Amino acid sequence: MHALTFSRFGGPDVLEWTSLPDPQPAPGVAVVRTRAIGLNFADVYRRQGRYHLAGSPPWIAGYEGAGEIAALHPDDAGGPFRVGQRVAFADSAFANAEQVAVPLDRLIALPDDIAFDTAAALLLQGLTAQFLLEDSHAVQAGETLLVHAAGGGVGLLLVQLAATRGARVIALASSDDKRRAALTAGAEAAIDSGEGWPDRVRALAPDGVDVVYDSIGRTLHDSLALARIGGTVVFYGMAAGDPDPVDPRVLMDRSLTLTGGDLWNVLTSPQARHDRAARLFEAVRDGRLSVAIAASFPLRDGAQAHALLESRTTSGKVLLIP
């Protein structure tokens, strides 16, 4: 098989199209022939050397994809999966390859009416948006939400799911195209996230917002200042770098809640994966959720895909197609 690999850290140019031995099935592990692969900033950070990597080079990034089961171990015959079955996964390593060994407990059965590219564009970011709205803070109808990076992959899904819950969404985004996308997704207002953005938010919500979803990191103190008394800030990313430390007296003085969010703390069992994914698929099926695909690249041209994602000009998901 072939895979998109890197043997040193750096820019997109370090990526190579490499021939590697086919993965083999093992007890509890299937081989999936990938048909669509989701590209995420975590893949960029691994290529740059900012995230931990196990093993030795050449490394294969990627955690999200969809395809068919190509092989199962004999011990798993008669189990919940079969060869040829359409499946997807959101949290299994080495996805940037034509074939991937995936633990069975990470596999999600893919309904016939959900396309491979839809699944690869939806699962990781959709499951993230879902738990942010349900577990990190249970959003209620009538609440006002401020969503950072609302034109990105998670942001657009977060806006859509929040709007279907009856929340009022103020979207922050860096370009006209991303702001238009956020409005189309259901935001009531979309404002420029450039210099002076807190004043623009305050003009729309003089008493503060109920909830802020902050994936930027460096904006955390402004997010706390814009939450109403008794409000909540959900911190779930550091796209612009680590936040400055927060003095707990800031939380005490205004009765604020600051909570973190990480998807892996809620995807704790195969049943949790299946149930949460099924609800996302149903939202796509009935039109409550639209999956935006910004661009698709052949897997062997992954360097171009990485460069596009790093440009931060895209609205929606970038896919790699084996």
CATH homologous superfamily of domain 141-260? NAD(P)-binding Rossmann-like Domain (3.40.50.720)
Taking only the tens place, the pLDDT of each residue in 176-235 is: 999 999 999 999 999 999 999 999 999 999 999 999 999 998 999 999 999 999 999 999
Token pair belonging to 98 = 């034509």
Beta strands 168-173; 189-192: pairing state = parallel
pTM of the predicted protein model: 0.91
The reported pLDDT for the residue numbered 41 is 86
The reported pLDDT for the residue numbered 311 is 87
pLDDT bracket for residue 56 (50, 70, 90): confident
Residue with tokens 């790699």: 320
**What's at 178, amino acid-wise?**
K
pLDDT bracket for residue 238 (50, 70, 90): confident
| Segments of the chain assigned to CATH 3.40.50.720 | 141-260
Q: Residues near 84 by Cβ (< 8 Å), separated by ≥ 6?
A: 68, 69
| Between 263 and 164, the higher pLDDT residue | 164
Burial of 243 (0-12, 13-18, 19+ CB in 10 A): middle
| 54 has pLDDT over 80 | no
| Segments of the chain assigned to CATH 3.90.180.10 | 2-122+268-321
For the domain spanning 2-122+268-321, the CATH number is 3.90.180.10
| 52 has pLDDT over 80 | no
Taking only the tens place, the pLDDT of each residue in 81-131 is: 999 999 999 999 999 999 999 999 999 999 999 999 999 999 999 999 999
